[in-house]
Structure 1
Amino acid sequence: MSEFMPCFHIDLPDKAQQHHAAALDFLERHGISPNPICYAIAYEYDAGRKPELNLEIESHLDRGRELDAHYLREFFDTHFMGQSDEKVGEHIADLHNLLYKVLEGVSGACSGAADFGKVLEAQTEELKGDVDMAGLKEIAGNLLTATNKAMTSNQAMRDQLESVEKDASELKSQVKQLQDQASRDSLTGLYNRNALSQQLDSMIERGASEDAPLSLLMVDIDHFKRFNDNFGHLIGDEVIRRVSMALQQGVRDMDVAARFGGEEFTVVLPGTDLDKAMEVAQKLHEAISKLVLVRRSTKEKLPGITVSMGASCLHPGDSRESLIERSDQALYHAKESGRNCIVSEAETLVH
């Protein structure tokens, strides 16, 4: 479970009253009940302290989409919930402790070896002189004591290193789990938007340097709000999960399927030109159209799921934003053409 991240500021009374009134007006205009989570998003939106939140909400509205409590909850999860920096700091501190344990063990072993060497050197010097039986016994005793001490020191180092190895393995597992949680969407298990940005930047750079094709699909569930309004948010979540599974199962291991936000998804296809990308899009479109949902409580068969899709390919000088923008424009044309279809960026140029 993610920890709650401290994210809200205490405003002066006048400012707080201004943001409060604006937040209530925002929720009323969009027909959203002012529950704590929705109110928090509306308040911070008016305060403008989180540019990424404002940009995401405005982008959502600019595309002609409606806002509801479901979307605001997703914005809340994205911008106000997550792994705190303290968690990462704890793992870094653990790593430092492991390194100190190794250093301590090695230093102790080296110190023990040096002491053992000094004893050997001293006893060798003693043997060079006239030594009687009592002297030999003393030298033998000294050597035996030094040897036992060195063996104990080496065993202690081995035990310590075994402990460090175990701790390091556990730490590695925890760090991987933390990385997975930070890069995955909690509802679908697909990459989240932040992870998509990182992956796409890397793929664009590689595609440009190797002059290799790269394509991107934007996928939007048609009339998704009707599922939420008519059947509830649990059914809406199930629709999103089923579509995400169809996308994940319909692409290669090297491809990247991500939840872009709300009911919108992105599929990145490295090594794939626009024509091939359209073929992939058609297969995904057909797979999603065959999904069957049944409400468990009533055995009622729910309406079929359709999606609109837009496709773009990498051009010289492209950035992540420009590649997504062309795909998004193609998606817009698909929705304007009646939804439940696929449009490539090449077709938008014709129009």
Structure 2
Amino acid sequence: MRNELETSHHVAQEALNALKKAGLQASVRNIELFYLHVSNANINLSKAIRTGENTGAALTQSRANELYEKFVAHQDAQDKIFSMIEKFETEAGKIADAVKESGKNSAGCSNALGCLADDLTKTASENPEVARLIDGVTNIVTSIQASNEKLESQLADSSDEISFLRESIETIQKEALTDPLTGVKNRKAFDTSIHRELEFARENDDPLSLVLVDIDFFKRFNDRWGHQTGDQVLRLVAEMMKANVKGRDILSRFGGEEFAIILPSTSRNNSILLADRIRDAVGTRLLKKRRTNENMGNVTLSMGIATLQANDTVETLIERADECLYAAKDRGRNCVISDGDVIPDGAKSVAS
């Protein structure tokens, strides 16, 4: 176990040192990239980085992004590094506790040795015949005391280092579950949350509803006003939805212009009320282009709601919410359809 802790600690530190040496920021993607490289968990990535080092090519942020997209940006690698990070966070806590305890013991020992050294010096002055022998013992005690003081300093440095690494890991974990554009939870966080909440609902005989949200004609909006403006609209819609959810509600970006809202302890009727409130708030918001103040009109939302049923799995719950979303589009968009409504056949044929 100790060897595993030391290895995790060493790899994490080496990854941070490599980042610093390259002059790159300690972002979640960069740390993930270098952790995989230093730990030799991704052979092709390490080979590419070493090839660059051997040719003297600088590892710029642009090059780091290329390496990430080529060798890391897939679910298996992300799951692996995330698991490694979680494991290290747990072990770092154990190491920090051990360091603190060792520091206390070391400090006590140093104080005791200091008193012993003083006593020996006094004895030597009172008994000259044993002065030579005591002088040798005093030197040994003083040397041990100095070594302990050095150990105390090293332990203090290690404790600070572990605290820094733990804070870095917490930041990494938060970023790994957050959509960078909108600031809401990402698809990975959604997948984890929906499984957890469905299990909780089952165990507690509690209602659970899922709302899938799609911005109507968003591709058309993007094509007309540009992708930067489209990104601003995505952020605005996310903020307006975030303002309407509360408590244990979980808002995530599901993909592209789609969002998902997990509503624990929420019935179908209450989910419909919330969805309609969000739909109305977004649909009545007049959008203007920032730089030109040009009127861009507004965007509307189509929303599908599924409420947990007796035999549901995560997959069937999502599928039913998705069918309701397409039914909302089939009905003309800018509306809410739940699995309590009659869903017309062929709803999924509607284009987004």
Query: Does the alignment reach a TM-score above 0.5?
Result: yes
TM normalised by structure 2 equals: 0.64
Aligned to 2:245: 251
Aligned to 2:18: none
Whether the 8 Å CA contact 1:106–1:157 is kept in 2: the answer is no
Equivalent residue in structure 2 for 1:328, among 322, 325, 338: 322
Aligned to 1:344: 338
Aligned to 1:273: 267
Partners of 1:270 and 1:84 lie apart in 2 by 26
Whether the 8 Å CA contact 2:82–2:173 is kept in 1: the answer is no
Equivalent residue in structure 1 for 2:165, among 155, 166, 171: 171
Whether the 8 Å CA contact 1:255–1:270 is kept in 2: the answer is yes
Per-residue deviation, 1:157: 2.7
Aligned to 1:200: 194
Question: For residues 288-335 of structure 1, what are the alpha-carbon distances to aligned partners after superposition, in whole Å with 9 as ceiling and x for unaligned?
Answer: 123232112322111211101111112223221111111111111111
Distance 1:218 1:251, change over 3 A: same
RMSD: 4.4
Larger radius of gyration: 1
Q: Which SS does the other structure have where 1:346 is aligned? A: coil
Partners of 1:268 and 1:187 lie apart in 2 by 20
Q: Which SS does the other structure have where 1:225 is aligned? A: helix
Which ranges of structure 2 fall in alignment gaps of 5 or more residues? 1-26, 37-41, 45-68, 346-352
Per-residue deviation, 1:140: 4.4
Partners of 2:225 and 2:262 lie apart in 1 by 31
Which ranges of structure 1 fall in alignment gaps of 5 or more residues? 10-73
Distance 1:93 1:303, change over 3 A: same
Amino acid at match of 1:267: I
Aligned to 2:155: 161
Partners of 1:260 and 1:273 lie apart in 2 by 22
Aligned to 2:204: 210
Aligned to 2:296: 302
Say which is worse superposed, 153-162 or 221-230, in terms of deviation: 153-162
Q: Which SS does the other structure have where 1:302 is aligned? A: strand
Amino acid at match of 2:191: S
Distance 1:232 1:336, change over 3 A: same
Per-residue deviation, 1:83: 6.3
Question: For residues 117-140 of structure 1, what are the alpha-carbon distances to aligned partners after superposition, in whole Å with 9 as ceiling and x for unaligned?
Answer: 9xx9xx99xx9xxxx934443464
Per-residue deviation, 1:87: 9.3
Aligned to 2:222: 228
Whether the 8 Å CA contact 2:327–2:343 is kept in 1: the answer is no
Per-residue deviation, 1:184: 1.4
- How do 1:73-222 and structure 2 match up within 5 A? 79=74, 99=95, 106=102, 133-138=127-132, 140-142=134-136, 144-222=138-216
Q: Which SS does the other structure have where 1:267 is aligned? A: strand
Amino acid at match of 2:290: R
Distance 1:91 1:166, change over 3 A: farther
Per-residue deviation, 1:251: 0.5
Whether the 8 Å CA contact 2:251–2:260 is kept in 1: the answer is yes
Whether the 8 Å CA contact 1:91–1:171 is kept in 2: the answer is no
Partners of 2:294 and 2:256 lie apart in 1 by 25
Aligned to 2:24: none
TM normalised by structure 1 equals: 0.64
Whether the 8 Å CA contact 2:286–2:298 is kept in 1: the answer is yes
Partners of 1:78 and 1:221 lie apart in 2 by 26
Amino acid at match of 2:131: K
Per-residue deviation, 1:257: 0.5
Partners of 1:197 and 1:188 lie apart in 2 by 18
Per-residue deviation, 1:271: 1.4
Whether the 8 Å CA contact 1:82–1:182 is kept in 2: the answer is no
Question: For residues 151-188 of structure 1, what are the alpha-carbon distances to aligned partners after superposition, in whole Å with 9 as ceiling and x for unaligned?
Answer: 32332232122111211121012212221222111211
Distance 1:341 1:78, change over 3 A: farther
Partners of 2:220 and 2:168 lie apart in 1 by 40
